[in-house]
Amino acid sequence: MVRDKLTTTAQGGVLGFGPQFAKSSTVNNWFYHRVLDSDMGVADMQNAFPPEVGGRPFPAGAYKDGVMVGGGMTMHPRLQNSVGWLLYALLGNCKQSQPALVYAGTLAATALAGDPATINTGITNPPAAAKLCVRIIKKDPTPFTGVVTITQTTPDAITETFDFSNGPSTDQRVDGLETDVADNTGFECIVGANPITTIDSIALPAGDTSVFVEVGYEDAVAFTHDFQPDTTYPNKVGWMGVRKCIPGSDGATWLGETYQDCKIINAILSLPNNGPIGMRADLMGRTYTQESDPSWAHNVAYEQYSGVPIASVIGGTITIPQYDTTPMRVVSTQLSFVNAPLDARIERDYGSPFIGDVTVTSRLFSVDMIVKWINPDLYRSILGNSKVATTWSSIPFTSRIDVTTIAPGLMAGSMLPYGLRVQVQQAMLGVRGAITLAGNNAVLMRLVGNGIDVGGDYARYSLTNLQSSYTWPTS
């Protein structure tokens, strides 16, 4: 017998997702994304009867105990738009969408001195009138509570103060996570209220020389969207729909599946030291439908590769501020955010094959990175709570973690590339395994840790693109 059908390949398949405003609702806006693979599918739970007395030693029957959907997708995330909906669903809230900031566009990072200083040179004016931003780069928990004053004399006389002791004044705003949530200080960046055209002087306060100040401005067209857990409902996770089309062989029927009432239960960002950034998202859902040759699987528009962040692009950084303001020399990193669900067996109700909900019971940010050994300072700090420690300390080493990854090239009309910044307020970091000496390898150290809740914003994923906002549907 001759088999005349060709083997089906997966490359022609289609994967899409979109937000649901509530359980059992439909998706109004679908977004399609290229993926490396997707194993999202139907879990048809079939079982054989257990051994029974009175028969032969074989299963005497079979039954199905229910159905649900699960799996996920692996991709090189395009940052133009669609990945924002995955981040929104993962974290649960978009705290704000604000004009993106060109952090050091006006003044490069400048160290404070023992005395106040006024800078009149080395200043680059914004390309057009724009609100300025003042950013503080420092180690934690080094305090900075000074005031930076910026003066413009023409075309209009404007003097604006950026008060890091008391926070933003009227019409100013903050950017970045606070570095000391206990007393509401430690603002990383304050954005001004007045559009500035020409900067005549920047007055810096006296301070520790390990503290740096940089001055930038709001971008003309780009926005940054801060996705993070909801303050009022910290276990809130968005409902999503997912659809997949499986291509048929040689003109055969294509099969479309739509998965409803899904929640993201795990998302991992993989940052190599070369190549594109990777993302894996896993979901758990309630129900599905199928259709033959779905019309939505044809003429799909995808975002382009220009929005994919690349590990080797200058500007990508991984920082542990408790240890140093200098970016780490990192070989590879994985950043995970887990929304642990209630056991699916408990989610089922008597008389129904479907799970009734996807209940998130706990949430966790975790990091796993391999760094190059430069000196023993960080190793000693983790083991002994001091760079000069020689004995073990029972005090855990904790720090903020700050990761930035960007795409090559600037966005159209912008001074910025597409970018994604991940911050966790505090993470407990430990060394996994021994510091290995191998004759044919560099000295490496593996750091692992989990985010801990110290109040304020637990973690934040900030996406910079040309979208003006992300609003979860309400109907």
Residue 243: predicted pLDDT:
97
Q: Are 254 and 306 members of one domain?
A: yes
Whether 474 is covered by a domain: the verdict is no
Strand segments, DSSP code E, in 7-61 are 14-19, 31-32, 37-38, 41-48
Q: Are 293 and 442 members of one domain?
A: yes
Q: Are 362 and 443 members of one domain?
A: yes
Residue 4: predicted pLDDT:
58
Q: Are 196 and 214 members of one domain?
A: yes
Could you read off the pLDDT tens digit of each residue along the chain, which spans 475 residues?
A: 555 566 677 788 999 999 999 999 999 999 999 999 999 999 999 999 999 899 889 999 999 999 999 999 999 999 999 999 999 999 999 999 999 999 999 999 999 998 999 999 999 999 999 999 999 998 877 778 899 999 999 999 999 999 998 889 999 999 988 766 655 567 899 999 999 999 999 999 998 888 999 999 999 999 999 999 999 999 999 999 999 999 987 778 899 999 999 999 999 999 999 999 999 999 999 999 999 999 999 999 999 999 999 999 999 999 998 888 888 999 999 999 999 999 999 999 999 999 999 999 999 999 999 999 999 999 999 999 999 999 999 999 999 999 999 999 999 999 999 999 999 999 999 999 999 998 888 999 999 999 999 988 999 999 999 999 999 999 8
Q: Are 266 and 221 members of one domain?
A: no
Note whether 49 and 62 are within 8 A (CB). Answer: yes
Q: Are 278 and 305 members of one domain?
A: yes
Note whether 136 and 152 are within 8 A (CB). Answer: no
Residue 184: predicted pLDDT:
54
Whether 9 is covered by a domain: the verdict is no
DSSP 8-state assignment for residue 391:
S
Note whether 131 and 196 are within 8 A (CB). Answer: yes
Query: Which one of 204, 227, 250 terminates a domain?
Result: 227
Q: What is the pTM of this model?
A: 0.94
CATH code, domain carrying 171:
2.60.120
Residue 183: predicted pLDDT:
54
Q: Are 83 and 160 members of one domain?
A: no
Residue 186: predicted pLDDT:
75
Whether 8 is covered by a domain: the verdict is no
Tell me the residue range of the domain where 24 lies. 14-39+70-93+240-465
Q: Are 193 and 282 members of one domain?
A: no
- What value, to the nearest 5°, has the Cα angle with vertex 404 and ends 403 and 409? 165
Nearest in space to 335 (alpha carbons), one of 430, 424, 408: 424
50: number of Cβ within 10 Å: 8
As for how many domains the chain has, the answer is 2
Burial label for 47, CB within 10 Å (0-12, 13-18, 19+), is exposed
Residue 6: predicted pLDDT:
66
Residue 5: predicted pLDDT:
63
Q: Report the C-alpha gap between 415 and 427 in whole angstroms.
A: 32
